[in-house]
Amino acid sequence: MKITFHPPGQRPIVHETEESSIVVGRSSACDIVIKVEGISRQHCRIDVDSRGELFVTDLGSTNGVLIDNERLTPNQKTPYFVYQPLAIGGIPQVVIENVHPAAPILRPKATQIDAAGESTVTIQLEVPKKSRSAHSRLQRTRSVGSEKPAPSSANIGRILIITIIIVLLGTLFVISPESFEP
């Protein structure tokens, strides 16, 4: 994902990462270090889940995190959509883009030992669901702030065909003035 911080009176600060969970703050222990007034040592965490959905958590910062001008409750994971205004501490505008789902997770599920003493480990793979999440649908939306997905080319084709049929039917049923007899 790409995160662009727009501190007042300074050039934008751009960070790109493939990590699914990052901590933003002033401390050198953070994944993204931002030395801007109003940013706490460990200010917030930004997470991406396996479906590509974003979450922001205020880590108990002094100046808070705002989504849509609403201050987040500290230490509470809050859903975030890329079209929403995001402010982190003294940075009034933060833009997150190019969000990719987190990598699938492998979990050992069961271990079996056969008569010969050989063990077999069954691994469960957690992968994103096939249906697109609300976040990814909204990310593809053309007009910012709209919750309606952009029309697909198949839908545009159907609309065009229906329009042509309506126009043709309209011309077939037009009655000319000569067809009326006084």
Write out pLDDT tens, residues 5-27.
999 999 999 999 989 999 999 99
CB–CB of 145/153 below 8 Å?
Answer: no
Q: How would you list the strands of the sheet with 13-16, edge to edge?
A: 13-16, 2-6, 93-97
Cα gap 91→101, rounded to integer Å: 26
Q: The tokens 């931002």 sit on which residue?
A: 34
pLDDT tens readout for residues 58-115: 999 999 999 999 999 999 999 999 999 999 999 999 999 988 887 665 566 666 677 7
Q: What percent of the chain has pLDDT over 70?
A: 63
What predicted TM-score, i.e. pTM, was given to this entire model? 0.58
Confidence category of residue 140, pLDDT binned at 50, 70, 90: very low
